[in-house]
């Protein structure tokens, strides 16, 4: 079964003369066990599409079937619960909390899911170990490099062992070496965990790691290849 099946997705912002059509009748299928890249110029609608597919932004038209669930037929609380149970997110800006250690950052989604105490600590430590940050578990963001911050964010996305991982420009703030580490971790999540990993990027360094490449321009998909 496909992880995501989207049909006829449309999204606009503004109204009247200021109305901007960002997504135009997009059809898209995302498979599990694969790293799929969506590439295109800035402003082409990549991040908006990612937000629609992950339940963060309601489309104006179309349907999104995720893991067999018609996502946008659900109410807001049910969509939030679905994301918590099945999705992990990695963003360009890391989105770490300044007062929390790396271990505490990774424990957060577990706590929201009702997992706490030693069970949460053990799982968070394993997740940090998976991204090579065992020794940095007690450090706060100001004590970490950019690459280490992004690996903490990835560990936080991985710790629930989600079926879906959404990454929005995860390497744009990183140098070549750290960018390679990050995309390698995302690919490993697809290959070893069977997750559907969907990554929006304009970074050409990631292309060689992708199982599938989707190109966008002006709100439309212009091509796809495996």
Report pLDDT digits (tens) over 130-148.
Answer: 899 999 999 999 999 999 9
Label residue 110 by pLDDT band (50, 70, 90): very high
| CA distance linking residue 226 with residue 212, whole number of Å | 4
Question: Which pLDDT score, from 0 to 100, does residue 75 have?
Answer: 95
Tokens coding 85:
């149970």
Percent of all residues in the chain with a pLDDT value above 90, rounded to a whole number: 76
Mean pLDDT of 80-96: 91
The pLDDT value recorded for residue 173 is 79
Q: How many domains does one find in the chain?
A: 1
Q: What is the DSSP letter of 135?
A: G
Please give the Cα distance from 31 to 63 (Å, whole number).
17
Query: How many whole angstroms separate alpha carbon 9 and alpha carbon 22?
Result: 10
* Residues paired with residue 23 on neighbouring β-strands, in sequence order: 11
Domain at 181, CATH number? 3.40.50.300
Convert the pLDDT of each residue in 30-56 to its tens digit.
999 999 999 998 889 999 999 999 999
Q: Which residue has the higher pLDDT, 91 or 156?
A: 156
pLDDT per residue as tens digits for the range 159-215? 999 999 999 988 887 888 888 888 888 998 999 999 999 999 988 888 888 999 999
Q: Residue 5 above 80 pLDDT?
A: yes
Mean pLDDT, the chain, integer: 93
The Cα angle at residue 200 between residues 194 and 206, in degrees rounded to 5: 75
Tokens standing for 51? 């937000």
Identify the helix (H) or strand (E) that includes residue 156: helix 146-158
pLDDT score recorded for residue 208? 87
Give the residue numbers spanning the domain of 140.
4-225
pLDDT the model gives residue 200: 94
Position 171 scores a pLDDT of 86
User: Confidence band (pLDDT; 50, 70, 90) for 15?
Assistant: confident
């Amino acid at each position: 079964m496909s992880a995501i099946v989207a049909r006829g997705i449309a999204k606009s912002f503004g109204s009247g003369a200021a109305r901007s059509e960002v997504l135009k009748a997009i059809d898209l299928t995302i498979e599990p066990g694969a790293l799929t890249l969506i590439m295109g110029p800035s402003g082409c609608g990549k991040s908006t599409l990612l937000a629609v597919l992950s339940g963060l932004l309601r489309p104006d038209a179309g349907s999104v079937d995720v893991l067999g669930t018609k996502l946008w037929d659900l109410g807001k609380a049910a969509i939030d619960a679905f994301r918590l149970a099945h999705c992990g997110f990695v963003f360009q800006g890391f989105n770490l909390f300044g007062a929390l250690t790396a271990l505490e950052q990774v424990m957060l989604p577990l706590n929201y899911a009702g997992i706490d105490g030693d069970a949460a600590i053990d799982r968070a430590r394993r997740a940090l170990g998976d991204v090579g940050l065992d020794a940095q578990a007690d450090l706060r963001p100001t004590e970490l490099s950019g690459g280490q911050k992004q690996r903490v964010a990835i560990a936080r996305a991985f710790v629930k062992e989600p079926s879906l991982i959404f990454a929005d420009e995860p390497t744009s703030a990183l140098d070549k070496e750290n960018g390679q580490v990050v995309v390698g971790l995302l690919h490993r999540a697809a290959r070893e965990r069977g997750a559907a990993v969907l990554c929006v990027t304009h970074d050409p360094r990631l292309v060689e790691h992708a199982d599938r490449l989707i190109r966008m321009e002006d709100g439309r998909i212009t091509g796809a290849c495996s």
